[in-house]
Amino acid sequence: MVRKRPLVIVTRKLPEAIEARLKELFEVRLNEDDHPYSADELVDAVKRADVLVPTVTDRIDSKVLAHANPNLRLIASFGTGVDHIDLATARQRAITVTNTPGVLTEDTADMTMALILAVPRRLAEGERLMRSGKWTGWGPTSMLGHRIWGKRLGIIGMGRIGQAVARRARGFGLAIHYHNRRRLPEEIEAQTEATYWESLDQMLSRMDIISVNCPHTPATYHLLSARRLDLLKPHCFVVNTSRGEVVDEAALTRKLAARQIAGAGLDVFEHEPAVNPKLLKLDNVVLLPHMGSATIEGRIDMGEKVIINIKTFVDGHKPPDRVIDTML
């Protein structure tokens, strides 16, 4: 077990209250200027840390973990997704990995619903028009968008966030459909009035709006491939608040440019922070800087989960949010 006051290295700036609490409990190295760590800085961190607190922008791959010092026994990730961490290597090196599940559900679902509204109703286009000074007043055919009431919403990934999106969407009169690795229990389907599709291809070909809410794993990489994007109706809208890698971004961009898909709302990108330059030129896309979970409340809740995971581990108990458990 690590020493009484373990060295905790935090790779990005966290809310002030969380950093203050970390300093009270542990020996801490903070990222005062909030710069993204380079690969060399991550290597240096794992060489020194007893506990590493990375975020989704830090690639903790096998090359980084190869330099981990023997006292590094916990990676307490600040975030829900763990696709940025080489879990197999962490397990081999007996490093426990935790995350912060649950606390971002409602925030991400809010942002998903905002994009479901914004894209068909052309809200970003309208806002840009107002700021350009070119608006000449109301007209009966001006800025026409599409009604979402009565449309079919297909949710890919019906976990916590997908279900929260379904609850919101029902209030806007959308018919809920979903594809999931496993079918939900009947009571949850009844609560969300959701129709299950075993075949993702069949669901995609029948929906008016697609919402991507599944995690990024090797199995979901380019789940929305060029072939599957071809199944969408020309009037379909795609919303992604999950991970950019789930969608073939180049194929999506081509179809949007050709107006073979009506529009998209994207909060995540395949090669963040880089964004396909062709996407930036399209007026039928709403682009956001990965801010789906960006609320003060959510970030504090995440930080509190990180602290609980570290404190529990240091005290010799199993952390509550284990992704990899190496403790006996």
Catalytic residues: 243, 272, 290
Torsion angle, alpha carbons of 241, 246, 248, 250, to 10? 40
d(CA 36, CA 15): 16
Could you tell me which residues come within 8 angstroms of residue 261 by beta carbon, excluding any fewer than 6 positions away? 229, 232, 234, 236, 237, 238, 252, 255
d(CA 169, CA 192): 9
Helices (H), the chain: 16-25, 39-48, 62-65, 87-92, 105-118, 123-132, 160-171, 186-192, 200-204, 226-229, 249-257, 277-280, 296-314
Q: How far is CA 310 from CA 22, 93, 116, 187, in A?
A: 10, 18, 37, 36
Token look-up 């060399």 returns: 40
